[in-house]
Structure 1
Amino acid sequence: MASTDPDLQERYNAGPRKASKPSGDQEVVRPVPIPVVVAGVAIPLIVLIVALMMVRTVGDDAAQEAASEPYAAVPLPAPGAETEECAALIDALPPALGDANQVALTEPAPPGVAAYRMPDAEPIVVRCGLDAPPTFVVGVGLQEVNGVQWFNEPDPNPAVTASTWVAVDRPEFVAVTLPEGSGTGPIQDLSDTLTATLDETEPNPAPAG
C-alpha cells in the first residue's frame, strides 16, 4: 500500500541533486610558462627605458642649444674699447675659458666685448677698455692669478651672485663677470691670454677718501 504522507513525498521530490565530482576529475591549474612571465616583465621595462632615453635626449639637445645661444651685451662706458690693445685682446681670446665656450654676440654688439657660456648656459662676459672701477682706491686688496693683478669689484646689489673681477695692471682695464660656481678655470685662462697679449703696467688706484 503506497504511502500518502505529504511530508515524505516532499522529501523525495526535492528535485535533481548535483552529483559531486569524483576527486580524480578535479580541474588541474597549469602554471604560466616562464617565457610568458619574462616577456610580461621585460616589455614594459624596455618601453620605459626607451621613453626615458628619448626624454633625456630632448633635454640634452635643449641644454646644448641654450649653451650656444648668442649673448646680448649691454653697452657700458668703455672709452678704451676700440684701442689697439683691446682689439688685440679680443682677437686673442681662446675658444673656451675653463668649462665655458665662446658664443656670438647679438647685433649691434658693443666693441671690446666677448661672451662665453657655461654648460648650464650661464654667461661669462669679458669687457676691455672700461673706466677705472670706482672702488679701486689706494689700500684695496688685489689677487694675482697667473701673473695678472685682479681687483674684485663688489656689486652694489647683494642679491647678485655673479662676481666681477678687473685686471688693473694692463694698459686698459679688463673686466670679467663670472657666474657662481664657474670655478677658477675661466680667470686662469683669461690671465694667460692677458699675459701673452698685453704688456704689464703698474696698478694705479685712485686716492682713498
Structure 2
Amino acid sequence: MGDTNQFSRTPVYAALVLAVVLVVGVLIGARVVFERAGDQPVALPDLPAGQADSPECTGLIEDLPDSLGDFDRAELAEPAPAGAAAWSKSSTERVTLRCGVDAPAQWTEGAETEESGGVEWLPVTDPDTDLTTWYSVDRSVVVAVTAEGFDPTEELAEPVAALPAGSVERNPLPLADLDTPEAGGCEEVLAALPGEIGDYRRVEAEAPRAHWTARGLPPVVAVCGVAMPESYAPGGQVTEINGVNWFSEGDTLYALGLDEVVAVSTPPVGADGVLVALSDALKEAQ
C-alpha cells in the first residue's frame, strides 16, 4: 500500500519539478530578451544643433566613457545625428548626450545652475515625466545630457570640462519687450510682491519688473504699469482669483481692475498657485 502511494505521487513531483524548470526558463528567457532589447541601437531625433559638427563636439564624442554607472555605451540608429551619444541599461532606461545644441529657453537672467565636476550645469525638468536635462553653460559649445532618475553629470564632467571655456548668451526674460507707460505708481505694488512662491524665489530685477526662479523650471515674471491688453473689451471673459480679475492674451496674463495693470508670465504647470500668491499680494497693495 505504501509503495502504491509513493508510485502515485511520482507524477506529481515530476510535474512540480517541470513547472519550476519552465518558470525559471521563462524568467531567464524574458531577462535575455530584455537585455537584448537594451542592446538595440538608440534612435535620436534631429534637434537644433548648429555646432554639432564642430571640432569641439567631434572630440568630445570620441572622449566619452564606455559606461555611466550601470549604463553601457549604445550604438545609435541610422541616420545618427552629429554630436550625439547614448548609454542604455534596458530598452527604456537610457542616458543621451547632445553636443552643440542651443541654450534652452530657461537660460535667462537669474537662472539657477549647479556645479558638478568643474562644469556649470543648468538643469531643466520635464513636468510630464521624471526626465531631467542638464545643459553646460560655461563651455564654448552647449552640451545637453538627459536622464531619468539618475544624475550623470559627475561622470561626464571630465570630457565636458576639457572643452574650451566660454560664455553662453542668456535668453531675454519673458515680457521683456512690454512697454510700461503707467509705471509711475508701481512702487507699492512691487514692494508687496512675495519673496517666494512655492519653489520659486524672487531675484533682483529692475523696476517695474519682478522676477522669480526655481531649479529646472521656467521663470515667473511680473511687469507693472503696462497698457491694457489690445484684445480686451468691456465685458471680456476674466477669471477672478481672490478678488483680482485675470485676463489671458496668448501666453500672458493680465491683472485688471487695479490701479495699475500688471502682466504676468508663468509656466503652465503650477500657474494656479502662482496666480493665487500674486493675487493676494496685488490686492494687499491697493
2:143 match: 174
Describe how 1:104-115 pairs up with structure 2 within 5 A.
104-115=75-86
Higher relative contact order (CA 8 A, sep 6+): 1
- Number of equivalenced pairs: 174
Q: What amino acid is aligned across from residue 165 of structure 1 in structure 2? A: W
Q: What amino acid is aligned across from residue 111 of structure 2 in structure 1? A: V
- Identity of counterpart residues, as a percentage? 32
Does the Cα contact within 8 Å between 1:97 and 1:116 map onto a contact in 2?
A: yes
Give how far 1:193 is off. Answer: 2.5
Q: What amino acid is aligned across from residue 83 of structure 2 in structure 1? A: G
Describe how 1:30-49 pairs up with structure 2 within 5 A.
30-32=1-3, 35-36=6-7, 39-49=10-20
CA RMSD across the alignment? 2.1
Structure 2 vs 1, CA of residues 131 and 202 (structure 1 numbering), >3 Å: closer, same or farther? closer
Q: Which runs of 4+ in 1 moved over 4 A?
A: none
Instruction: String of CA shifts for 1:35-54, please: whole Å, max 9, x gaps.
Output: 53663453122101110121
**Which residue among 71, 76, 92 is the counterpart of 2:63?**
92
Residue 85 of structure 1 aligns to a residue in which SS? Answer: helix
User: Is the strand fraction higher in 1 or 2?
Assistant: 2
Give how far 1:205 is off. Answer: 3.1
Give how far 1:126 is off. Answer: 0.3
2:118 match: 147
Rounded to whole Å, the distance in 2 between the matches of 1:132 and 1:51 is: 53
Give how far 1:207 is off. Answer: 4.8
Where do 5+ consecutive residues of structure 1 fail to align? 1-29
Give how far 1:147 is off. Answer: 1.4
Residue 107 of structure 2 aligns to a residue in which SS? Answer: coil
Residue 193 of structure 1 aligns to a residue in which SS? Answer: helix
Residue 125 of structure 1 aligns to a residue in which SS? Answer: strand
Instruction: String of CA shifts for 1:69-105, please: whole Å, max 9, x gaps.
Output: 1111111111111111101110111111222111111
Give how far 1:169 is off. Answer: 1.3
* TM-score normalised by length of structure 1: 0.74
Does the Cα contact within 8 Å between 1:99 and 1:119 map onto a contact in 2?
A: no
2:158 match: 192
